[in-house]
Amino acid sequence: MSIFITAEIGINHNGDLGIAKDLIDVAVDAGADAVKFQKRTIDLVYTKEMLDSPRESPWGTTQRKQKEGLEFGLGKYQEIDKYCKEKGIEWFASAWDLESQKFLQQFDLKYNKIASAMIVYEDLLKIVASEGNHTFISTGLSTLEDIDKAVKIFQDANCPFELMHCVSTYPMRDEDANLKMIHTLRKRYNCNVGYSGHEVGLAVTYAAAALGITSLERHITLDRAMYGSDQSASVEPAGFKMLVGAVRKIEQAMGDGNKRILEAEIPIAQKLRAHIKWEANE
């Protein structure tokens, strides 16, 4: 089974549909399987006090203006849905509240995503699990007990899922990656395990690919210098294309673990071992 690669656009579109489409193009060109967004109902996710507090951004001087500036509504998601269908790539989104998950239900999406921050939001998990779509569950910011509860919800609902090892720092330090957790999660829950990375660079992701992950998610951006909190932990177009190509090569190189002599090795063996036959005949 090939690793399912998701290009996480998240909010790196900065509220601009043109940038979102450019990022979809980046994912398609690289050979990703899907793109992912984030959906929030601003007044449910944030308090009024927080939204009224000051924040300088391209959209104004309050937190509300910044949050609203980053959020896509129905019209833009309809455009995204249409554009992804034209480009032949799947899209889905991680909802941060119940209304956002209900909003996403109007689209015929094949996948759901539980963001690390939402893995403890049991009411949200139950709604997602009730839909029965294959769900990627990120495990950053959580204990094993948190993951136990989330897994049980999806098992009880008979909803297909896989966990994604994740460390939710932006960007993540390489020494914090703890990739052996991929084995730990696979053994503890007897399920497929992926990797959601927030590191700078590609080496840690390559290592994860070699550990038998079934899914991979990395944030993408047009330019890491763009406005936004996730840009610095994202991969630019050339890097993402290189990442996808390398992961596909790693998949091929892993093989099946069965020892065999390749047909191409036989004449080489005969040549390099010829002196053994001569010595045996003396």
- Residues of the chain falling short of pLDDT 70: 280-282
pTM above 0.85, yes or no: yes
CATH label of the domain that carries residue 41: 3.20.20.70
pLDDT at 282: 65
Q: Can you give the residue range of the structural domain that contains 35? A: 4-281
pLDDT for position 1: 79
- Is it true that the peptide bond before 171 is cis, omega within 30 degrees of 0? yes
Number of structural domains (the chain) is 1
Q: Where are the alpha helices (DSSP H) in 203-273?
A: 203-209, 237-254, 265-272
| Residue 2 confidence (pLDDT) | 96
Closest-CA residue to 12 (of 28, 26, 30, 29): 26
**Between the CA atoms of 5, 7, 10 and 13, what dihedral angle is there, to the nearest 10 degrees?**
-170
Question: For residues 59 and 45, what is the distance between their CA atoms, to the nearest angstrom?
Answer: 19
